[in-house]
Structure 1
Amino acid sequence: MENIKFNELQLHTKVLQAIDAMGFEEPSQIQAEAIPVVLEGHDMIGQAQTGTGKTLAFGAPVVSGIEKDNKTSALVLTPTRELAIQVNDELSRIAKFKRLQLLPVYGGQPIERQIKALRRGVEIVVGTPGRILDHIKRNTIDLSEIKFLILDEADEMLNMGFIDDIEEIIKASNSERQTLLFSATMPDQIKRLASKYMKKDVKHIKIVKSALTVEKIKQHYYEVKAKDRFESLCRILDVDEPSSAIVFCKTKKGVDELVESMQSRGYNVEGMHGDMNQNQRLNTLRKFKEGTLDYLVATDVAARGIDVDDVSHVINYELPQDIESYVHRIGRTGRANKEGTAYSLVTPREYMFLKQIEKATKSKIKRKEIPTVDEIFETKYKNIIKNIKQTLEEDDYKNFIPVATELDEEYNLVDVAAALMKMMFEKELSFDYSENALASTNGNVRLFLSVGRIDRISPKTLLQFMRTNSGLDVGEIGDIDIFDKFTFMDVPEKFVTPIIDKVSGKRFQGRKLNIEVAKSKK
């Protein structure tokens, strides 16, 4: 399955169109192995970790096999409402050009609204077991003709005590359905469930978990607005001044556009992606290895051939589609027992995926503020002074003394030196910065919450509680710092009043939750 392309997997043309629009260049391992099996009509057990691209692995073939007919053709069961929303969002992108109707179904949301949507007709339902069972008992969902039943994160559902609910849902489903089960682990309960309700020729695909080691790499992220992504990158490069950096984009088009933008700002940069021929790639890579090229912009596919020891920085201009790709990307720095630096530019919507990366890699990705123009100027000033001192110490400027003497007759030499430094400074600066600080660095407000580790909370449970009680898009919530007895949470300014009004005073983990604007960021 090595280097297989999505268009070789016999998917519906409109699904391929959606995958291309999503920017995925080639399938992950679970996608490459699972998609043909599902398209052939087999029941399947997919054993893979979170962050390997499971949703697309079942979503692409399932959407390919469904036509718009206002009947429920596929049911996806997930352990939590958070995952239901996440899966529904990704399936909506996969089904975009087939114009299928999807509906996320979970508790904490008015059931009447769900009933109305189901009556109008939806092709794909994504839901939690408890709420799906509720609809079955009310006769508001009909599973008698479904083609696909997908159990996502089945081990988590069993850990949460959903086994009886799942069995009831399976019994209410079309006996001729195709069943797909995804689970990170294979406990006995999962094996019994598969044996009891899946076809005898069920296919078992197991993706061996890679060692996700990132020990010698300092990882940071910058929260950015999409419109400020390029300027944020310029600011980071102008302050850090990496000796050699690889910048990753999701798509070939993204690589071309970023290279063009960077070159227009004077950066010494070229790109690499799958549409370039072998000679182009080898020539670009040679220049990068020899140090005649400062920056390389690449897609994940093109980066496979990059084996360079002295890459000081890896920058995720856009996050990849799965966690393993993130690890492979940042593994391009920190080689040969050297320390490396990895930066990621993250929009509020991508924050949850960043947390998944932290969990899978057992590492802390620390937030950094986007550099201000003052910080950029300070860096450039120091460079200019350093270069001037070095030139003076090397004593190889004597040929220019007559020119300096001539200028001395008409101008003050301090003014002359300042003018020359200004010229050097303008040459050093890549971007015409109009504001000292980007608005995206100050858009969040720090909230204080009166719960902490002693209340057995986690970012996941806190975000679920926020979503249920506030109705807000928790994907926009920023940093969450949990201490023993209290928690700090960064939220967009527009969220402050709704959260305090709707959530503060509610009981959470058995305690009354108090929320207020933090006096200062600790």
Structure 2
Amino acid sequence: MRGKNKKSYPPRKKNNTKRNSNNEASNRSERSPSRRKSSGDNKKSDPGENRQRGDGPQRSSRRSARPSQRGRSGGRFKKSDLDPSTLVNKSIKVNDGGKKVVTRAFVALEIHPQLQEKIKRKGFVNTTEIQDKTFEFLSRGESVIGIANTGTGKTGAFLIPIINRLIVDKKNHKTIVLVPTRELAQQVDQEFRSLSKGLKIFSSCFIGGTSINKDLDKLRRTNHVIIGTPGRINDMINRRALKLNEFSNLVLDEFDTMLDMGFLKEVQKIIDQMHKRRQTILFSATENEKQQGIINGIVKDYQKVRVSDGQANTDNIYQEVIKTKGDDEKIEILMDFLSKEAFKKVLIFSETKRQVSKLCRQLKRLEVKVDEIHGDKSQQYRTKAIQKFKSGNIQVMVATDVAARGIDIDNITHVINYRIPFSKESYIHRIGRTGRAGKEGYAITFL
């Protein structure tokens, strides 16, 4: 009977490069980093990613993870509370015609000549709006709350003033940078190193899923900036390997995401150890009353800088909903999309690790250049997969919400929700990976 229902998919160009079979084989036996006690930062993993481990009986949750013939996520999965009609936007606005924001050139700012040279070599000429409006405050050591959308240069906004001050005084401006995800921590560390190379200013990055012994070795060396996820930083503090009495500056990047992921207690523990904290820099893409109350408890006297209204803005992203009759039709439509030239760099979301792996296997069988990231993949695997996606070696990345939250990749042409997300917040985080920095983006949701 199954043979009769076989579908034919649009032909794809033959992939002359051999499939890298070692990637999956080397990670098949890997246990999820989030299950190791030493990993720390994955203790509060997103419920959507680990839904197979829910409160119900094991047999029932296994059954629910199999998509039914009607194309639904399955029996006992939490039903999405999204109204599909709200996921449509066919009238995009890339530039609303408002006043043009004029920012200064980096050469016009009071930046040390050695750092100016690094900035020039990276090809940066003008500041972004958030960089321009926060530079003087941060250079004077004032605390700042910055509200800015993803892709607006927030990382440079805090790294450049920090490095600028450390060049002059390496002892009194040591900084802790906390971010919500492993991938974002690595990206911030890479950016820091590219700006500080040769300046004798050193950083270390601490994330779950990596060697504890190597992390302990890092802390035996001089570190002016510590970058990491809250769980692993706390792990180092609990082992008495990291003492925060020398660190006076704190950066909380993507604070709204940190709250979403349940890291508030972990963050508060770190703050309580920073007895000499003089400057707090907090960046968030969104803001609300609950979040504001938490911020007021963390920092008392600060400058607030807004370059967005604190509401998730998706006006520049073309959004479409496609209703399908089942999973067979869904994969057929997906393959039709992927055969088009416009779909150059595609990020596909599904709800659970099992669903992500299944879709990735399907696409590989259909000769799509694809990889996957989720909580059961080792950190090394995830880093390599993201690098392949960044460099264009693969066309498609399939991911869960948690694994993709830290992805900072330019020019993602399309985001596809293979399964409809459970909440509006999740939807906004997903489609925000495309249309970055006000550029045009495309998001498609399958029902």
Q: Which residue of 2 aligns with 1:82?
A: 183
Deviations 1:397-441 (A, max 9, x none): xxxxxxxxxxxxxxxxxxxxxxxxxxxxxxxxxxxxxxxxxxxxx
Q: Which residue of 2 aligns with 1:258?
A: none
SS at match of 2:161: helix
Q: Please point out which of 40, 48, 53 is paired with 2:153.
A: 53
Question: Distance in 1 between the 2:181 and 2:291 partners?
Answer: 18
The runs of 5 or more residues in structure 2 that have no matched partner are 1-100, 320-340, 346-354, 361-369, 401-447
Q: Which amino acid aligns with 1:476?
A: K
- The 5 Å alignment of 1:97-108 reads 97-108=198-209
1:473 aligns with 2:389: no
Question: Distance in 2 between the 1:162 and 1:125 partners?
Answer: 18
Preserved CA contact (<8 Å) 2:216 2:241:
yes
Q: Please point out which of 4, 17, 20 is paired with 2:120.
A: 20
Question: Distance in 2 between the 1:195 and 1:110 partners?
Answer: 36
Q: Which residue of 2 aligns with 1:270?
A: none
Q: How many angstroms does 1:9 deviate by?
A: 2.0
Q: Which amino acid aligns with 2:137?
A: V
Q: How many angstroms does 1:483 deviate by?
A: 11
Q: Pairwise CA RMSD of aligned residues?
A: 3.3
Q: Which amino acid aligns with 1:29?
A: E
1:366 aligns with 2:366: no
CA distance 1:11–1:30, change in 2 (3 Å): same
Preserved CA contact (<8 Å) 1:5 1:26:
yes
Q: Which amino acid aligns with 1:145?
A: E
- The 5 Å alignment of 1:65-76 reads 65-67=165-167, 73-76=174-177
CA distance 1:460–1:191, change in 2 (3 Å): farther
- The 5 Å alignment of 1:168-187 reads 168-187=269-288
Q: Which residue of 2 aligns with 1:213?
A: 316
Deviations 1:154-184 (A, max 9, x none): 0101111100010110010133421000001
Q: Which amino acid aligns with 1:20?
A: K
1:153 aligns with 2:65: no
Question: Distance in 1 between the 2:376 and 2:105 partners?
Answer: 40
Question: Distance in 2 between the 1:134 and 1:121 partners?
Answer: 19
1:114 aligns with 2:215: yes
Q: How many angstroms does 1:203 deviate by?
A: 0.4
Q: How many angstroms does 1:74 deviate by?
A: 0.8
Higher relative contact order (CA 8 A, sep 6+): 2
Question: Distance in 1 between the 2:279 and 2:399 partners?
Answer: 46
- The 5 Å alignment of 1:67-466 reads 67=167, 73-200=174-301, 202-208=302-308, 213=316, 366-367=343-344, 450-452=357-359, 462=373, 466=377
Question: Distance in 2 between the 1:464 and 1:65 partners?
Answer: 37
Q: Which residue of 1 aligns with 2:141?
A: 41
Question: Distance in 2 between the 1:467 and 1:17 partners?
Answer: 37
SS at match of 1:135: helix
SS at match of 1:191: helix
Q: Which amino acid aligns with 1:58?
A: F
Q: How many angstroms does 1:142 deviate by?
A: 1.7
CA distance 1:460–1:131, change in 2 (3 Å): farther
Deviations 1:112-139 (A, max 9, x none): 1011111112111110000001111111
Q: How many angstroms does 1:70 deviate by?
A: 8.3
Q: How many angstroms does 1:47 deviate by?
A: 0.5
Identical aligned pairs, as a percentage?
29
SS at match of 1:199: coil
Q: TM-score when scaled to structure 1?
A: 0.44
Q: How many angstroms does 1:3 deviate by?
A: 3.8
Question: Distance in 2 between the 1:27 and 1:39 partners?
Answer: 15
**Larger fraction in helix:** 1
Q: Which amino acid aligns with 2:266?
A: D
Q: Which residue of 2 aligns with 1:399?
A: none
Q: Which residue of 2 aligns with 1:230?
A: none
CA distance 1:129–1:461, change in 2 (3 Å): farther
CA distance 1:465–1:18, change in 2 (3 Å): farther
The number of equivalent residue pairs is: 253
Preserved CA contact (<8 Å) 2:203 2:225:
yes
Question: Distance in 1 between the 2:300 and 2:372 partners?
Answer: 36
Question: Distance in 2 between the 1:365 and 1:146 partners?
Answer: 48
Preserved CA contact (<8 Å) 1:72 1:142:
no
Preserved CA contact (<8 Å) 1:146 1:177:
no
Q: Which amino acid aligns with 1:73?
A: K
CA distance 1:462–1:99, change in 2 (3 Å): same
Preserved CA contact (<8 Å) 2:356 2:399:
no
Question: Distance in 2 between the 1:20 and 1:39 partners?
Answer: 19
CA distance 1:463–1:483, change in 2 (3 Å): closer
Q: Which residue of 1 aligns with 2:421?
A: none
SS at match of 1:366: coil
CA distance 1:199–1:466, change in 2 (3 Å): same
Question: Distance in 2 between the 1:143 and 1:189 partners?
Answer: 28
CA distance 1:36–1:72, change in 2 (3 Å): closer
Moved over 4 A (4+): 67-72, 209-212, 463-467, 481-484
Q: Which residue of 1 aligns with 2:130?
A: 30
Q: How many angstroms does 1:2 deviate by?
A: 2.2
Q: Which residue of 2 aligns with 1:334?
A: none
Q: Which amino acid aligns with 2:108?
A: E
The runs of 5 or more residues in structure 1 that have no matched partner are 217-363, 369-447, 454-458, 485-522
SS at match of 1:473: helix
SS at match of 1:46: strand
